[in-house]
Structure 1
Amino acid sequence: MSTALRAAISVAMLVGFYLLGLLQLALVGWLLYEIWTHTQSAGAAKASWLLLAAVGAVVVGLWKAIRAQPGEPEGLLLTPEQAPDLWRTVRELAQEAGTRAPDEIRLVPEVNAAVSEDAKALGLIAGTRRLYIGMPLLQTFTVDQMRSVLAHELGHYSGSHTRLSAVAYRGRAALHETLSRVGKWNVFGWVFKGYGRLYLLVSNAVTRRQELEADQVSVRVAGVDAAVGSMRELPVVAAAWNFYFGRYVSNGWELGYAPDDIFGGFGQLYTARTEELARLRDEEPDHETSRWDTHPAIGVRIAAMRALPPVQHAPDRRPASTLLPHLGGAGLALQAAVVDFGDRTVLPWDDFTAASITAIQQRRADRVFRSAARRLGVQEAGLAEIFGLVSSGGLGELAAEFFPDATRKEAAVAFADPMDDLITLAAVRSGAARWQHSWSAPARLVDPYGQPVDYAEIAKLAVDPSTVDEARHRLAAIGIHLEAARVVEAKATASGSDVIGAMANVRVDDQETDLILLDRGFLFVPAPKGGNEGEKRLKDLLSNNDPATLAHHYRFVPYEEVTGARITKAVPINAELDLHGGATVSIKERWSGEQLGKSRDTLEAVLKRINERAE
């Protein structure tokens, strides 16, 4: 089946999606007529309400989809004056691909390239063409590989693949808006879900075929070596991009810091991590794909490329950044256009890394300091108070909270690792050490002269009452002050927490509540009595709010505040939580309560873990 025919079928199915909605609306109208023609009882009113509620969700979704429009173009606009070499290359490739060049080129923060066209009248009238180029590709590809990617995207134009992009957008919008509004017990929604799956199967089959057709243009215009090379490099760049944000950016970002040059940092990491990237390039590309994927597997695409007639091309292994000489400045301009720093503190990379690691250490230390304060009966505690606990022989009880499977004596010995972290925090706060940033390896702790330092030996001395004074003297001798490491968050918060589960309409202390399970504690949000659509309410709540924000407005009980947990009934689960200070929290699951995923199992596991810790 040709791509054009598949696309026509896809459009016809989209029309059918709307017709299905109209048919269901007509069916409800007929049913209402029949109901009120034969009876006007209370049962008729209830049945009418149920029918209107069921079809109403569908109608609202369809109406919103009809009115939906693609958003404003994303990314940083690059004019021919700003990027003459890039524009010249794109125009030359467009001519070779036999198509009209794009009207705009935009730089985007993605490991991807794409094209769009604001065509009208179902693609019969051409519109503004836009080419989107991922900043990471310009930072990592060769000119050959970049030409291949650009030729592929221009191949979508020459194949008229973008003419129906607006229609495809509406189709997916219709699916999303409609299906997101129907509950799992809505019979009308069942019909739409089945139809939606069929539509996606056909639509995705079209796009997979279009990708293979665009690959043919890439090979013809840029050569098979460049085309295959770009295909093999894409997953490498994507893996590096994910590693970069996961390892270097995200932790500090969540803690209120931001690097001053996000895209420049990625370029430096890619240059520094040559060995790891080389190992990634040696991996065989994936040959398996799903019928739900919009792109064929990379291995399948490479095999199809190699099967095409060979075309000779002179290689150009210069870095793709030569097409945009002022790439660093463009990266900063892109950052200004697409990155919202909010109220984060923006720092140079060296300071950003140091501040991020120190904040992470402070958060871990605060957990220990809060427990020490509770045991000592004081408002706040720090490393000096913990040294006092060691001297008095009380470290074992504190350490047992963090090593529940050990005896008091074993826990005190095992506490050497947390003690090392606490001493490191004191060293950084005292100015005796700092965290040194590196693109090729993890950050390392160094002294003011740049020499690596390690406090593990002193930490072992610090957990033993017979040697704690020696540890104290050795720390003082190298300028580390115990008083420098003190609690910052005297009360536990949900900052940086992840959601691990959510249950709707749980009774907490006999109040109707939505229970959000975080990796740091229980979050109790008031819920409507006997509320319906609990699953949808939970999804909306979590998609529109950060857990820390919710914990600021609603009741949050950190796990560290819970001294014990009892499951009093297994199904539906009933439990009681004992808190520091003697208070008790009761949790009762409802038979009809909804949940996200297997949240009930998660709750049970959390309660059992708390109980084991308390024993």
Structure 2
Amino acid sequence: MSTALRAAVSVAMLVGFYVLGLLQLAVVGWLLYEIWTHMHGAGAAKLSWLLLAAVGAVLVGLWKAIRAQPGEPEGLLLSHEQAPELWRTVREMAAEAGTRAPDEIRLVPEVNAAVSEDTKALGLIGGTRRLYLGMPLLQTFTVDQLRSVLAHELGHYSGSHTRLSAVAYRGRAAMHETLSRVGRWNVFGWVFKGYGMLYLLVSNAVTRRQEFEADQVSVRVAGVDAAVSAMRELPVVDAAWDFYFGRYVAYGWEHGYAPDDIFGGFGQLYAARTEELARLRDQEPDSETSRWDTHPAIGVRIEAMRALPPAEHAPDRRPAATLLPQLDGAGLALQAAVVDFGPRTVLPWSDFTAASIIAVQQRRADRVFRSAARRLGVPEAGLAEIFELVASGRLGELAAEFFPDAGRDEAAAAFADPMDDLITLAAVRSGAARWQHSWSAPAQLVDGEGRPVDYAEIAKLAVSPATVGEARQRLAAIGIHVEAARVVEAKATASGADVIGAMANVRVDEQEHDLILLDRGFLFVPAPKSSSEGEKRLHELLSNNDPAVLAQHYRFVPYEEVTATRITKAVPINAELDLHGGVTVSIKERWASDQLGKSRDTLEAVLNRINGRTE
């Protein structure tokens, strides 16, 4: 399909979207005329209001889409002086690709590269060209692999693919804005949803074709070996990037800490995890492409690359970082430009890892300490109080809450694992042990001289009344103070909690609420009596607010505060929660209640799990 034809199809379908809106407005006008011609009074007014409300949601979305504009360019702008070798390489490759070089190169925090162009007159007049280059690619690729990625992106320019970016942006904005405002029962919205699916099918098919065209330029300019190598390495880098943020950064981020060098840390992890990365490279790439995908599967692209006429290219296996010698400094500058640390405490990596693990351990310990305080009838508790429970033969009462399928004696014995965690926390708080950071393996608990330590044997002694005294003596002998491990959050909070479900217009103690299900408890937000647009309200509530902040302002019932649950009616679901202290909370779903996903099933599963105490 030629560029001109692609432009015609995109513009025609976009115009068709707005024409569809005008046609529906005309239909509503005709229906209003018919209603008021043949009806009068409250009935006519109600029908008119329903029609206007239905088409109004569509028109508001269309109007917002008309006014939508692409945002400001993202990333860190690299000047010619900052990256002369990178700029020289890009210009040379642009000449080989037969296109004008970009006007800007910007570093972005993604395992990706992309291009854009500010155009006018539906792409007939070119404008500022920008090349976006992912920082992780510079940290992990060879020069050959990076040249292949650059050639691919320049191929989008030579194929005039970016000339239609403004049209494509406006088309997708129109779909998103309009369809996001259409409820499930809005008949006018059904037509738009069908049209939107058709638009995406056509648009994504065109985009996949463009990727193949850009791959041809990559093979011609950089060589088939470099192009295939880059394709195979991309999922490896992407997996490592996800692992890095999931296992290293996010671990402490949600607890109020941040590392001082985010991008530098990824480079170190990638260099240290050689065996894991090698196993990822041995995996065959995906070869299945859906009609809804914007890009062909990597396996399909590699097969197409190898079918192209080969071109000779001298290999260059130097690290891609040689094209930007001040890569570490660029990473810190990119961090300053795109990362918002907020109120988090910024720490060097070794301290960040230690602080993150301690925060997680403290949170888990607090859960146990709060239960111990309830058992003892005291405001706060710590490891010392748990030792008192053990000495008095009452550990089984506490342990049964965490091991509900076991008898009290069995639960007390099984409590050796949680006890090990509590003793570890006491050791760290006493200064007798610390967490040692590592890029090649999980962090390790070591003593003051860096030797690994393990308190599992002492923990086994600490769960029996007969040997808890010996455990205390052995801990004191190695400098661990039992009193050092105490509760920090005496009351459970939603800090760091994730949303697992949401239901609109649920009656809680006979009052209208939106129910937000967190992985740590129930959150009840007052709601209007009208059940219309409940799903939309939930989306807006959750997209604009941190659940932990909502829990500070509205009623939050942690799961640990619930002693028992009863489902008194299955459909719509009605349930009762018994809390510590004798309070009972009733939850009643309405027939008209909206939900996100399968939240009703999630609620039922949560209620059953709590009743079985299988937390």
Q: TM-score, normalised by structure 2?
A: 0.99
What residue is the counterpart of 2:493 in the other structure?
493
SS of the residue aligned with 2:130? strand
Using the TM superposition, give the Cα deviation of residue 614 of structure 1 relative to its aligned residue in structure 2, in angstroms: 9.5
Tell me if 1:254 matches 2:275. Answer: no
What residue is the counterpart of 2:203 in the other structure?
203
Render the CA deviation track for 1:452-478: whole Å, top value 9, x for unaligned: 000000000000110000000000000
d(CA) in 2 for partners of 1:595, 1:477: 57
d(CA) in 2 for partners of 1:105, 1:614: 53
What residue is the counterpart of 1:610 in the other structure?
610
Render the CA deviation track for 1:243-286: whole Å, top value 9, x for unaligned: 00000000200000000000000000000000000010011111
Alignment of 1:398-437 (within 5 A): 398-437=398-437
Using the TM superposition, give the Cα deviation of residue 7 of structure 1 relative to its aligned residue in structure 2, in angstroms: 4.1
d(CA) in 2 for partners of 1:493, 1:266: 32
Using the TM superposition, give the Cα deviation of residue 613 of structure 1 relative to its aligned residue in structure 2, in angstroms: 2.6
What residue is the counterpart of 1:244 in the other structure?
244
The one-letter code of the counterpart of 1:574 is N
Tell me if 1:301 matches 2:301. Answer: yes
Any runs of at least 4 consecutive aligned residues in structure 1 with deviations exceeding 6 A, and if so which? none
Render the CA deviation track for 1:545-565: whole Å, top value 9, x for unaligned: 111111110000001101111
Alignment of 1:4-19 (within 5 A): 4-19=4-19
The one-letter code of the counterpart of 2:159 is G
What residue is the counterpart of 1:334 in the other structure?
334
Q: Determine if contact 1:78/1:105 at 8 Å carries over to the other structure.
A: yes
d(CA) in 1 for partners of 2:224, 2:570: 62
The one-letter code of the counterpart of 1:453 is V
Q: Determine if contact 1:236/1:277 at 8 Å carries over to the other structure.
A: yes
SS of the residue aligned with 1:43? helix
Alignment of 1:565-580 (within 5 A): 565-580=565-580
What residue is the counterpart of 1:601 in the other structure?
601
d(CA) in 1 for partners of 2:614, 2:120: 66
Which moves more between the two structures, 529-538 or 581-590? 529-538
What residue is the counterpart of 1:44 in the other structure?
44
What residue is the counterpart of 2:502 in the other structure?
502
The one-letter code of the counterpart of 1:186 is N
SS of the residue aligned with 1:290? coil
d(CA) in 2 for partners of 1:471, 1:2: 78
Render the CA deviation track for 1:338-371: whole Å, top value 9, x for unaligned: 0000000000000000000000000000000000
What residue is the counterpart of 1:482 in the other structure?
482
SS of the residue aligned with 1:401? helix
What residue is the counterpart of 1:287 in the other structure?
287
SS of the residue aligned with 1:578? strand
d(CA) in 1 for partners of 2:153, 2:572: 55
What residue is the counterpart of 2:530 in the other structure?
530
Q: Determine if contact 2:10/2:167 at 8 Å carries over to the other structure.
A: no
What residue is the counterpart of 1:591 in the other structure?
591
What residue is the counterpart of 2:387 in the other structure?
387
Structure 1 spans left out of the alignment, 5+ residues? none
Structure 2 spans left out of the alignment, 5+ residues? none
What residue is the counterpart of 2:103 in the other structure?
103
Q: Determine if contact 2:531/2:592 at 8 Å carries over to the other structure.
A: no
SS of the residue aligned with 1:363? helix
Using the TM superposition, give the Cα deviation of residue 39 of structure 1 relative to its aligned residue in structure 2, in angstroms: 3.2
d(CA) in 1 for partners of 2:47, 2:354: 64
d(CA) in 1 for partners of 2:40, 2:596: 39
d(CA) in 1 for partners of 2:506, 2:418: 37
Q: TM-score, normalised by structure 1?
A: 0.99
What residue is the counterpart of 2:63 in the other structure?
63
Render the CA deviation track for 1:475-522: whole Å, top value 9, x for unaligned: 000000011000000000011111111111111101001111111111
Q: Determine if contact 1:104/1:130 at 8 Å carries over to the other structure.
A: yes
What residue is the counterpart of 2:358 in the other structure?
358
d(CA) in 1 for partners of 2:194, 2:413: 60
Q: Determine if contact 1:7/1:203 at 8 Å carries over to the other structure.
A: no
Q: Determine if contact 1:118/1:129 at 8 Å carries over to the other structure.
A: yes
Q: Determine if contact 1:3/1:206 at 8 Å carries over to the other structure.
A: no
Over aligned residue pairs, what C-alpha RMSD do you find?
A: 1.1
Q: Determine if contact 1:6/1:202 at 8 Å carries over to the other structure.
A: no
What residue is the counterpart of 2:562 in the other structure?
562
d(CA) in 2 for partners of 1:326, 1:411: 57
Q: Once the two structures are aligned, what percentage of the paired residues are identical?
A: 88
Q: Determine if contact 1:564/1:614 at 8 Å carries over to the other structure.
A: no
Using the TM superposition, give the Cα deviation of residue 8 of structure 1 relative to its aligned residue in structure 2, in angstroms: 2.4
Q: Determine if contact 2:436/2:443 at 8 Å carries over to the other structure.
A: yes
Using the TM superposition, give the Cα deviation of residue 3 of structure 1 relative to its aligned residue in structure 2, in angstroms: 5.5
SS of the residue aligned with 2:613? helix
What residue is the counterpart of 2:83 in the other structure?
83
- What count of residue pairs does the alignment treat as equivalent? 615
d(CA) in 1 for partners of 2:195, 2:373: 60
